[in-house]
Structures are given as C-alpha cells and as structure tokens.
Amino acid sequence: MASLTLRNVRKSYGDVQVMHGVDLDIVDGEFVVFVGPSGCGKSTLLRMIAGLEEISDGSVSIGDREVNDVAASKRGVAMVFQTYALYPHMTVYKNMSFGLKQVKTPPAEIDKRVRAAAEILQITDYLDRSPRNLSGGQRQRVAIGRAIVRDPEVFLFDEPLSNLDAALRVQTRLEIARLHERLETTMIYVTHDQVEAMTLADKIVVLRDGRIEQVGSPIELYERPANSFVAQFIGSPKMNFFTATDLAAAGGTLLGRDIGADMQVGLRPEHLAIAEPGNAVVEGTLELVENLGEYALVHLLTASNVEFIAKTEKPPQVPKGSTISFGVKPELAHFFDANSGARLT
C-alpha cells in the first residue's frame, strides 16, 4: 500500500493544455473517485498516474518515491480498464497468471496468488474456462483478478463498469467495495456516474476542464458544494436552480434572506415538499410525472418558464397543468453567485 501525491501536474498536446496544474493528496488505503463530465481530464489524469501518459510538468509520487521517469510496469500500480482486454485463447487461470510469468515469478507463488485472487472474486470455478464462456460481469472480475495477483501498491480503475448492464453494474460495484475493505489498498476509480462516486468513495475529486473543482467526502460535496457546477453534478436528480424572479412571492422571505439579482438559489428535488400556496418557496405548473414506485419525479415549470423537478413519496393527485406549491427548510437551501457560480455563505 502507498499514498499518492500530485503536485502542479500539467498535460499539454502541442499548444493545447488539457490539465492545468493539479494538486492532490491521496492517503494510504483510501478509495478515491475521479468524477466529472466527458472530456474533463479524469482518464488522462489516471493514465498519467499509471505512467501510460507522460506529464508535461509537475510531479507524481507514489509513497515517498517520485515516479515521473519510472516505467509503468515498475510503478507498483495495476490498472483495470473499461474493456476487459483478456486473451481469448487463454483460460482464466492463464490470463490471471500471464503478467506474473513475464516477470519470472516462481510457479508455486503464481499458483498461490491466482487461487487466492479467484477465491476473493468468487471465480474459482471458472479458472479452466476461456473468456468467451463467461458473462460480462465474470470477465470484469477476471480483469480485476489479474490486477490483484500483481499485489500492487495502488489500484487504478478506468470506468470498469461501463460495459455492464444495470443489474451487473450494481453487483460489480458492491464487489469492488468489498474488495477494497478486504485488501485495504489505495484505489483510484474513474467514472462519469456520480451514483458510483457517492456509493464507493472515501473521497471524491470533481474535475472540470482539466481542473479540480472540489475534493471532499461524498456527504461534504452533497451538503456543501463549493460551486454551482459541483452542486448540479453531485446528486440525482440534479439540483434545481432559481433566480429571485423564479421563486414564489414569499420565497426569499421563507428562505430567510434577500435574494439579489446576482444570486442563484439551489434546491434539491428531494428537499422540496408540497405546501400551501401561502407557504410556497417555489410554484410550478405540472408537466410530467415519472412514477418509479418507491417515489415519483414530478416535472414542473415556473411562471418564468424555468423547469424544475420535485422528488415526492407519491405522485400528486392533480391533473396535468395544475399549479403545485412547494416549501423547503431554509437550512437545506444553497446560494451561489450567479456570475462565478461560487457558493455564498
């Protein structure tokens, strides 16, 4: 196991700079998730840590060793990719043992490591099968097992669940969480799915355009987002945003502060509760209801034509086109600068 330190890490392709001076400290044994929209630089940053991309400036250290000029194979990291990248002509056992054979590991040690990893991942019964006879989830477990046998200091996961269906994503996500608890090894996980980030991470790193927007625990990012970008990215459904003109007449008063023209109010769908019109922070015309059984997502439109969503326990028993009033506890409201997006205290 090892800690990881990034200092002023930059990456350029010719005159185009894609990573802009990233500083990050990852504690030994921590599960860190890089999250952000497509093109934000999360996979590029992971590949620089792995040694698959050269850094243009700055330093990457694993433990107390700077690894800028260390080959990927000697950095003490193991990477699991979005694609399984298994050798189709080899059995599961041979796929998992191949890397160890390349570095002349004794056969007895290879067998010990492969069987131990297979037991952890519950794939012992598949060791003699070829990849074509496995499901997608089983193939991804083999790919993870291939990383485990290397006994790395740091595990790197690059969107490993993207090719799985919804049920397998949930199952494999749980297996990765259990794997971290069992191995207690530093893990860095890249995803665009904020649900994966919230459920897996000890610490989330939110990236945008090659820069870190915020670093913190899942609950810190959910309760106190540093800016409107993080506020909308963390949480599902995403946070609703309103200006003073979008709120109901008593909206600002009920939230306990004056809402200026240069402010945005952020209200999460799950914090909106149906209220009497006189106690409404925001009102909307009913457009659509998604009834998901355990809860409903109610889509509405304010008088100023701003769309918003309320998450309710039951679907509202009113016809489409009706006006519905919502209140919210003042301590659950978020306030941001309309220009910079920065959080306002």
For residues 156 and 147, what is the distance between their CA atoms, to the nearest angstrom? 9
| Tokens matching residue 54 | 């050269």
Between β-strands 57-62 and 203-208, what pairing exists: parallel, antiparallel or unpaired? Answer: unpaired
In this prediction, residue 94 carries a pLDDT of 94
Ordered mean pLDDT values, 10 residues apiece, the chain (345 residues): 92 94 96 94 95 95 94 91 88 93 92 92 92 89 90 92 81 88 93 90 96 97 96 93 93 89 96 93 96 95 96 93 96 96 93
In this prediction, residue 1 carries a pLDDT of 66
Residues 6+ apart with CB under 8 A from 95: 86, 87, 131, 142, 146
Residue 108 · residue 116 · CB < 8 Å: no
4-232 and 238-337 in the same fold: no
- CATH class assigned to 238-337: mainly beta
In the chain, domain spans: 4-232, 238-337
In this prediction, residue 73 carries a pLDDT of 87
For residues 324 and 270, what is the distance between their CA atoms, to the nearest angstrom? 15
Q: Residue 301 — φ and ψ, nearest 5°?
A: -135, 125
| pTM (2 d.p.) | 0.90
In this prediction, residue 170 carries a pLDDT of 85
Residues 6+ apart with CB under 8 A from 262: 337, 338, 339
Between β-strands 307-312 and 296-301, what pairing exists: parallel, antiparallel or unpaired? Answer: antiparallel
The enclosing H or E element of 97 equals helix 92-102
The CATH H-level superfamily of 4-232 is: P-loop containing nucleotide triphosphate hydrolases (3.40.50.300)
The enclosing H or E element of 79 equals strand 77-80
